[in-house]
């Protein structure tokens, strides 16, 4: 989902220029209590749709809640170490990724989540492995709010939140004893497993259905005025990224810098790596039902609410929009909203889960894809069945170039990404272990190929032109690999 082809340098320049223009001033933003809010929404934030909690079945809310709490209890939410402007930083929110078997999802340059079909918590709904790629937004430094802390702190943090929630009885309609039942059921009992998987799948299906009867919702007081959903759906979401954060356990949240909207759980960003105009649907669940925020003075701008911030990308003149969310509310970013605008998540006072659904662009992100790429490269390698010795079947510079590109792709986009943090998820899901071993074997054969190419160009007996081309191609591939390996070593 590239909004523009700006290079990092250009973005930096643009950002600096805007910040200079802005000086010390904050840009204005509007919330629901402010006059002109709806007009601003209609004129500058079309594509944003709010779907109130009451438009989804009550059972779905309570099932989703059980699923979230069980996942948290099992430690499935992990903070991702992402790459932001050449720095590695931990996301403030903890995440888990669900999706099709063998599919991966990229954001901000790292494999983050890693589950798969058949595992206890996710059968029926599949988990996957996430790659991260450099963000392309102008605010990529805060594109995901993050802080450089040791990953181990996450464990104590999760433990803290768990006990905190129990103490405060912050579990919404469910009492603590019932969470126990959920987690016990989910272990040995297949029926219990299904109970945990279904809600996430069901959420995805409910949110993918665009045919919301506005009239019906209006009567129930559910609809947001002037924000009809177009009947374009249902859409087939292929990625579910779950987020979790307890603000009480997070002491170093950044302040939203441009508008003064408050503390950010997720900084300004565009969602990356989606098919063009993929809608993004987000279900928001906060652990205490925001009663405090609703009734207190200041209402929606009350800091106890979780809120979404939206802004027009590269624009310091259009006011920002701040949308408070009550537990069970969902919102959609439709049409080109995600590419023309940025969004952030503003932390409320209680712990909150969100289930985000998207259509990821995954043509180069599946296991089947990388396996077939490896086969392409290895088709130029012959192994003698008798001796096991290897030889090259094609000796052209273009073949060499092609093989070395695949070699780099499997090493840097898959193996290193996996070993960097994708592997953390093996304790919940071993699905990727075997395929990764196979990819590593393929990679090893490609190392053999590189050595054979090297022997070839070092062979003084070989004729001039071709040998020179081969040497140049090889040198450039090896230099590139060397640099990339150095970057990974530094990480």
Ligand X SMILES: O=C(O)CCC(=O)C(=O)O
Show the site string, 229-268: x = touches ligand X by CB under 6 A, - = not.
Answer: ------------x-x----------------------x--
Query: d(Cα 60, Cα 98) in Å, to the nearest integer?
Result: 18
Nearest residue (CB) to ligand X, 94 versus 356: 356
Q: Which residue is nearest to Fe ion (CB)?
A: 271
345 binds, options Fe ion, ligand X, none, Cβ within 5 to 8 A by partner type: ligand X
Q: Considering the rule CB under 5 A, would residue 117 count as an interface residue with Fe ion? A: no
206 binds, options ligand X, Fe ion, none, Cβ within 5 to 8 A by partner type: none
Of the candidates 109, 271, 411, 413, which one interacts with Fe ion according to CB under 5 A?
271
In angstroms, give the least distance from the CB of 319 to ligand X.
Answer: 20
In angstroms, give the least distance from the CB of 372 to Fe ion.
Answer: 31
Q: Considering the rule CB under 6 A, would residue 108 count as an interface residue with ligand X? A: no
In angstroms, give the least distance from the CB of 271 to Fe ion.
Answer: 4
Nearest residue (CB) to Fe ion, 84 versus 410: 84
CA neighbours closer than 13 Å in the CB half-sphere of residue 28: 9
Q: Is 463 helix (H, G, I), strand (E, B) or coil?
A: coil
Q: Where are the alpha helices (DSSP H) in 272-355?
A: 291-295, 337-340
Nearest residue (CB) to ligand X, 135 versus 319: 135
Report the b/e string of 14-29 with b at 16+ CB within 10 A: ebeeeeeeeeeeebeb
Q: How many CB atoms lie within 10 A of CB 93?
A: 25
**Closest alpha carbon to 3 in 433, 445, 343:** 343
Query: d(Cα 478, Cα 288) in Å, to the nearest integer?
Result: 55
In angstroms, give the least distance from the CB of 345 to Fe ion.
Answer: 8
Nearest residue (CB) to Fe ion, 281 versus 288: 281
**Are the C-beta atoms of 400 and 473 separated by less than 8 Å?**
yes
Query: d(Cα 438, Cα 91) in Å, to the nearest integer?
Result: 31
Of the candidates 65, 271, 404, 442, which one interacts with ligand X according to CB under 6 A?
271
Nearest residue (CB) to ligand X, 239 versus 477: 239
Give the CA distances from residue 6 to residues 10, 14, 167, 271, 475, in Å, rounded to whole numbers and listed in that order: 6, 10, 49, 17, 29
Q: Which residue is nearest to ligand X (CB)?
A: 354
Show the site string, 331-370: x = touches ligand X by CB under 6 A, - = not.
Answer: ------------x-x--------x-x--------------
Nearest residue (CB) to Fe ion, 102 versus 135: 135
Sequence-distant (6+) residues with CB within 8 A of 392 are 380, 381, 382, 449, 452, 453, 456
Quick one: how far is CA 154 from the chain centroid?
Answer: 18
Give residues in contact with ligand X (CB under 6 A). Answer: 241, 243, 266, 271, 282, 284, 308, 343, 345, 354, 356
């Amino acid at each position: 989902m590239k909004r523009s082809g700006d290079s990092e340098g250009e973005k930096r320049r643009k950002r600096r220029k805007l910040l200079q223009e802005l000086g010390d001033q904050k840009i204005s933003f509007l919330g629901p209590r402010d006059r002109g809010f709806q007009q601003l929404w209609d004129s500058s934030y079309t594509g944003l749709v709010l779907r109130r909690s009451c438009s989804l079945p009550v059972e779905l809310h309570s099932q989703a809640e059980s699923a979230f709490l069980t996942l948290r209890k099992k430690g499935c939410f992990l903070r991702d170490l992402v790459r932001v402007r050449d720095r590695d930083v931990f996301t403030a929110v903890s995440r888990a990724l669900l999706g099709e078997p063998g599919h991966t999802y990229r954001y901000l340059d790292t494999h983050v989540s890693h589950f798969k079909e058949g595992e206890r918590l996710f059968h029926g709904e599949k988990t996957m492995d996430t790659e991260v790629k450099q963000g392309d937004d102008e605010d990529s430094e805060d594109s995901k709010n993050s802080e450089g802390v040791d990953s181990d702190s996450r464990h104590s943090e999760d433990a803290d939140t768990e006990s905190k929630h129990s103490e405060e009885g912050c579990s919404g309609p469910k009492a603590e004893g019932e969470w126990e039942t959920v987690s016990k059921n989910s272990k040995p009992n297949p029926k219990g497993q299904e109970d945990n998987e279904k809600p996430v799948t069901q959420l995805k299906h409910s949110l993918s259905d665009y045919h919301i009867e506005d009239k019906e919702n209006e009567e129930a007081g559910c609809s947001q005025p002037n924000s009809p959903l177009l009947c374009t759906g249902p859409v087939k979401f292929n990625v579910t990224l779950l987020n979790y954060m307890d603000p009480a356990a997070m002491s170093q949240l950044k302040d939203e810098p441009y508008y003064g909207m408050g503390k950010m759980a997720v900084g300004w960003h565009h969602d990356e790596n989606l098919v063009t105009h993929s809608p993004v649907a987000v279900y928001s669940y906060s652990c205490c039902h925001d009663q405090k925020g609703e009734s207190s003075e200041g209402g929606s701008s009350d800091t106890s609410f979780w809120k979404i911030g939206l802004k027009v990308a590269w624009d310091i003149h259009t006011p920002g929009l701040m949308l408070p969310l009550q537990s069970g509310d969902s919102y959609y970013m439709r049409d080109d909203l995600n590419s023309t605008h940025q969004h952030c998540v503003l932390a409320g006072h209680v712990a909150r889960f969100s289930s985000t659904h998207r259509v990821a662009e995954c043509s180069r992100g599946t296991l089947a894809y990388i396996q077939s790429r490896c086969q392409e490269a290895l088709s130029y390698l012959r192994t003698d069945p008798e001796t096991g010795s290897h030889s090259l079947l094609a000796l052209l510079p273009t073949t060499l170039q092609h093989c070395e590109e695949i070699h780099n792709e499997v090493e840097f986009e898959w193996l290193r990404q996996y070993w960097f943090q994708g592997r953390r998820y093996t304790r919940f899901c071993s699905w990727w272990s075997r395929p990764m071993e196979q990819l590593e074997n393929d990679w090893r054969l490609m190392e053999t190929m590189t050595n054979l190419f090297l022997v070839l160009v070092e062979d003084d007996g070989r004729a001039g032109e071709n040998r020179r081309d081969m040497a140049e191609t090889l040198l450039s591939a090896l230099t590139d690999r060397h640099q990339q390996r150095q970057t990974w070593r530094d990480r």
